[in-house]
Homo-oligomer: A and B are copies of this chain.
Amino acid sequence: MATPSAAPRVGSRRQRSAPVSESRYDRRLSEILVHATEVFCKKGYEGASMRDLSRESGMSLAGLYYYFESKERLLYLIQKHTFSTIVQRLKSRLENVSDAEQRVRIFILNHLEYFLANQAAMKVLSHEDEALKNGFGAEVAAIKREYYRICVGLLDHLKRDRRLQFSTRIAVLSLFGMMNWIYTWHNPRVDADAAAIGGEMGDIFLRGVLGADTK
């Protein structure tokens, strides 16, 4: 989960960008991140205390600070990793597909699959959107903007191809709304899997925008 590798004290940044093998430090940090994600998901960022995180991850309160310098940076690490991963997977999946409609369907499927497979992390990402201040927030916001721009690109492509007319902005944000809202209602014991839900949402959304012919 954690990219850096093999340096001791917090604050001093790691340098090797290609970690040959995951160090002990990295593995432990990843574990903590997983537990922290669960706690942030359950109690919210503000509502979760460092003592909660300590209890959940089985490490002493002070021990946590060996791995990151503040609670805020912890949230940053979770958000950055989650978002980077979903963008990277999307890009790789889009590589071999050129049909405009198929590309939108892949976007939806990728988003929902990752969302449901990593519900806690994605809830933290969606729900704690404004929790990070200044520098931390800006970096995550940049990834988010890139992700948003990709979706805009896909829909503009579709619009051009089929000569459609609709507001790309509203369409993209509506689609994100449909998908992201899932964290408030999805129940794995009741609801279908990502492929099925993605299919239904894709049907509704795509019929919706494809029906918007040029007058």
Which A residues lie at the B interface, using CB under 8 A? 44, 46-47, 127, 129-131, 166-167, 169-171, 173-174, 176-182, 184-185, 191, 197, 200-201, 203-209, 211-212
Contacts and interface: CB of A to CB of B under 8 A. Distances in A.
B47 A201 contact: no
Nearest to A127: B127
Given A46-B46, A177-B177, A180-B177, A205 B208 contact: yes
A176 B167 contact: no
Of all A-B residue pairs in the complex, the 8 with the closest CB atoms, nearest first, are A177-B181, A204-B208, A46-B46, A208-B208, A207-B211, A174-B178, A177-B178, A177-B177
Given A166-B200, A171-B200, A207-B212, 4 more contacts: A173-B181, A177-B182, A178-B181, A208-B208
Most B C-beta atoms less than 10 A away, residue of A179, A197, A205, A207: A207
B197 A203 contact: no
Q: How many copies does the complex hold?
A: 2
Nearest to A177: B181
Nearest to A175: B178
Nearest to A211: B207
B47 A170 contact: no
25 contacts: A44-B44, A44-B46, A44-B131, A127-B127, A166-B203, A166-B204, A167-B200, A170-B197, A170-B200, A170-B204, A171-B204, A173-B182, A174-B178, A174-B204, A176-B181, A177-B178, A177-B181, A178-B178, A181-B181, A203-B211, A204-B205, A204-B208, A204-B212, A207-B207, A207-B212
A129 B176 contact: no
A54 B69 CA distance: 32
